[in-house]
Amino acid sequence: MPKVVLIEDERLIVESLVRTLRGLGYEVRDAADGTTGLALILAEAPDLVILDIMLPRLNGWEVCKAIRR
């Protein structure tokens, strides 16, 4: 089953995307801030990351830079 990490701080968006992605057969993990999201990415090695830009603690641009390193 393909893994997706969703990093988004808007709860309604998270709930909608998680429900949709799981319905399509994806394993989904989510985080509400950049720091937690980055740790989740490093631990899970997902097939896809869905990343918001305006996040608390560590913004999406910084998360993206860290992933690429």
Tally of domains in the chain: 1
d(CA 6, CA 34): 10
What pLDDT is attached to residue 3? 98
Would you call 58 exposed, middle or buried from its count of C-beta atoms within 10 A (0-12, 13-18, 19+)? Answer: middle
Residue 35: which domain range? 3-68
d(CA 16, CA 62): 25
Task: Write the CATH number for 19.
Answer: 3.40.50.2300
What pLDDT is attached to residue 36? 97
What pLDDT is attached to residue 26? 98
Confidence label for 28 from pLDDT (cuts 50, 70 and 90): very high
What pLDDT is attached to residue 6? 98
What pLDDT is attached to residue 45? 96
Residues 37-53, mean pLDDT to the nearest whole number: 97
